Structure 1
Amino acid sequence: MEFTFTTARLLIQTEFAPLVSIFVLMAFIKTNVSFSDSTNRSFLLACGAAILLTCSDSMRFITAHMDHPTIYRYISAGAGYALRPLILFRLTIISSRYKIRNKFLMAIPIVFCTFISILSIFPFAHGLMFSFSDDNKFVRGPFGYLSHIVSLFYAFQVVYYSLKNFMYNKFEPVIVIIMEIAAFTATFMENRYKYDFVLSQVMISSIIFYYFFLLTQTFKRDTLTHFLNRRIFYLELKHLLKDPFIILSMDLNNLKVFNDTQGHAAGDKAIITVTTEMTRTFSKYATLYRTGGDEFMAIFKKSSISEVVNLVSVFQKNLEKTEYQVACGYASYTPGDDIDKIISLSDERMYENKVNLKQNKNI
């Protein structure tokens, strides 16, 4: 197959939109200050790998239809085998929120896969991972499935770390699983039915979708606690008014004292300590929000008042092991109630509990 106008038109029709999309994303990343530099850098590296993968797939498409193998056939194959798991490796780093204990061990599979992939391009290593017969037919070598295995390993890592974030974001594992089902389907289609360009396009779509999903979370969540913010609390309330629920108001006592006497680092430590305990106690039953500096709210959709009271008792008892106190107050909403009055009632009971805490009484 020669590179004709028809071939060029097919490649442009297939690859133009994905490439434009990924370049636009890269421009957006360069102007975005919502993420840390390391997160933006990882996304840029994933984008760069996706662009190279698209180019290598285009080269593979052209050279695969030639009468005999060329060096470009080997280059495109080696690049494809190295770049696919590399993209998943970068997504693993991102999904872990940079909390991987041993990054060196985590990088060993991709380093080894990349080494074997590049080595297989050279004549002395033909057949190690792949080779091509005289009539340009693909021949899988002893390391022929290495890229697939490494990709699968990192794919599971992305799911694992997204599940670790489940307490803070229940939708991230769903998004990740959808992305990976699409990638596995695309891999099957490429290998079983010889569909070209499907996997690279799915990977580009996944990078873009995952980036903007995480970006929306930065506008919905408090950066210190990862709780949903005040704006989302009131927006979500509007969608809950048709069903009964219980609101729990919480206030961290003496936060200003910690900030003024020990510095803001001490205040942050207090907030992190109490919100960690909130997450441990309430997250299975309620959605948590940070609505102010020392103010927090929880919405219980399926719990009874007695269950909420018991959970608050457990929460405040656990805090006795620390130097912090959190005042709590609850109110039950039924459809037709004035939600503002329910919130005010919850706040009033919380302020009453402040007094009770000073007298060593519970809610």
Structure 2
Amino acid sequence: MVLLIGMGIVLYSDVHLEQKMIRRIAIANVLMFLYSISCYAETYLGNQTEYTLLRPILSAFNYSLITFILVTVIMIMFPNQKRYLFFPAVMNTVLCFISVPTKIVFFISEDNHFFRGTLGYLPYFINALYLLYFIISLFRNSRSQKEDFRLILYISLTTIMCLILPLFASDSTSHWFNMTIAVNVMLYYVFLLQKSTKHDPLTNLLNRQSYYTDAERYSNDITAVVAMDMNGLKEINDREGHIAGDTALQVLADCFWKAAHHGQRVYRIGGDEYMILCIDTTEDEVLSLIERIRQELAKTPYTCSIGYAMKTEDSTIDKLYQLADAMLYKDKKQFYESTGKDRRKRK
């Protein structure tokens, strides 16, 4: 309850996340709040000697809420989901409430003991499907850096643990799920806030501050720096407007990200300037990276100038940046000379 109320207060004053995301986290909070009340009420009735009809109704409600909480968590972490994702949760809810008179999923005996029916493990099966979908989505949405995956994997593993343990020790672990999900949602909210400070909002690449941080963090492991700068952005902005310019920047960012392999971290430094820090990367691998970038760009109506620099014994990150930028400048000059276009003033 402390976590849920605290999250509610924080969400009310949040100015960083999109309203859609805030609403989804708020919905998860409400569902967990309802589950807390219902779960403790059902536990209280389960400790009584006499059977009451309210207990199976609460059990059906709890089984339903657990599934909807999982769906909501998936919608929070992977926002671009279709509404049919809710279909198994709705089916589970219908069967659980039908079970109150039919005993098909579970039933409460006259001496107030809980038993599973013919479809007794159906809620766990549906929850397992959602968790499998969660893990698949985790690896399909692969733009995140590896440190982002660590937290999401931790969240998924602890959720799986709290769904499995009640099958073997229901008396001592029945309340773990709600507490774990509440903590995990709080952790993910903090992660989203942290991510908003590390990533460029337009392209979702790492931002300039992340470049400075990583340049210091990986200073001993960086072997090359690649600099990219879009050609003709000012012309696009003047002719088609800044929305078209933003679209072009997003397309370029997507090309850079697709071309980058493990250990090649992509940043938007500002405007139409991008950088890639190459960790433990040979010159042949850097040249392959540049070739992949050009291949991705060839699929678009846009071009960019590229420069790179390899680390030597006495070179610093700043020196590498200057060398890569100098090569980029030559590439850009050659582009404008070969196309006959007016070269924009370079800052």
Alignment TM-score, normalising by the size of structure 2: 0.91
Distance 2:182 2:136 in 1: 21
In the TM superposition, what is the alpha-carbon distance from 1:302 to its structure 2 partner?
Answer: 2.1
1:351 pairs with 323, 329, 341, which one? 329
Do the aligned partners of residues 52 and 350 (structure 1) sit closer, same or farther apart at CA in structure 2, a change above 3 Å counting? same
Distance 2:225 2:207 in 1: 15
1:190 aligns with 2:166: yes
Greater Cα shift, 280-289 or 323-332:
280-289
In the TM superposition, what is the alpha-carbon distance from 1:336 to its structure 2 partner?
Answer: 5.2
In the TM superposition, what is the alpha-carbon distance from 1:345 to its structure 2 partner?
Answer: 1.3
Asked whether the equivalents of residues 236 and 244 of structure 2 are also in contact (C-alpha less than 8 Å), the reply is yes
Aligned partner of 2:91 in structure 1 is 112
Do the aligned partners of residues 314 and 189 (structure 1) sit closer, same or farther apart at CA in structure 2, a change above 3 Å counting? closer
2:116 maps to amino acid: R
Map Cα deviations across residues 153-195 of structure 1 (whole Å, 9 max, x no partner).
2212222222222223333433232222212222333231221
In the TM superposition, what is the alpha-carbon distance from 1:354 to its structure 2 partner?
Answer: 0.7
Aligned partner of 1:91 in structure 2 is 73
- RMSD between aligned residues: 2.0
Aligned partner of 1:148 in structure 2 is 124
Do the aligned partners of residues 106 and 71 (structure 1) sit closer, same or farther apart at CA in structure 2, a change above 3 Å counting? same
Identity %: 25
Report the 3-state secondary structure (helix = DSSP H, G, I; strand = E; otherwise coil) of the residue aligned with 2:270: coil
1:60 aligns with 2:20: no
In the TM superposition, what is the alpha-carbon distance from 1:39 to its structure 2 partner?
Answer: 1.2
Aligned partner of 1:203 in structure 2 is 181
1:139 maps to amino acid: F
1:154 maps to amino acid: Y
Asked whether the equivalents of residues 190 and 199 of structure 1 are also in contact (C-alpha less than 8 Å), the reply is no
2:60 pairs with 53, 57, 78, which one? 78
Map Cα deviations across residues 37-90 of structure 1 (whole Å, 9 max, x no partner).
221111111111111111122112211111122133223211210111111101
2:271 pairs with 261, 285, 293, which one? 293
1:158 pairs with 109, 134, 157, which one? 134
Gap runs ≥5 in structure 2: 340-347
For these two proteins, the number of residue pairs brought into alignment is 337
2:281 pairs with 292, 303, 308, which one? 303
Greater Cα shift, 328-337 or 139-148:
328-337
Aligned partner of 2:257 in structure 1 is 279
Aligned partner of 1:239 in structure 2 is 217
Do the aligned partners of residues 151 and 334 (structure 1) sit closer, same or farther apart at CA in structure 2, a change above 3 Å counting? farther
Aligned partner of 1:315 in structure 2 is 293
Alignment TM-score, normalising by the size of structure 1: 0.87
1:132 maps to amino acid: I
Report the 3-state secondary structure (helix = DSSP H, G, I; strand = E; otherwise coil) of the residue aligned with 2:115: strand
2:114 maps to amino acid: F
Asked whether the equivalents of residues 244 and 334 of structure 1 are also in contact (C-alpha less than 8 Å), the reply is no
Gap runs ≥5 in structure 1: 1-18
Distance 1:335 1:126 in 2: 77
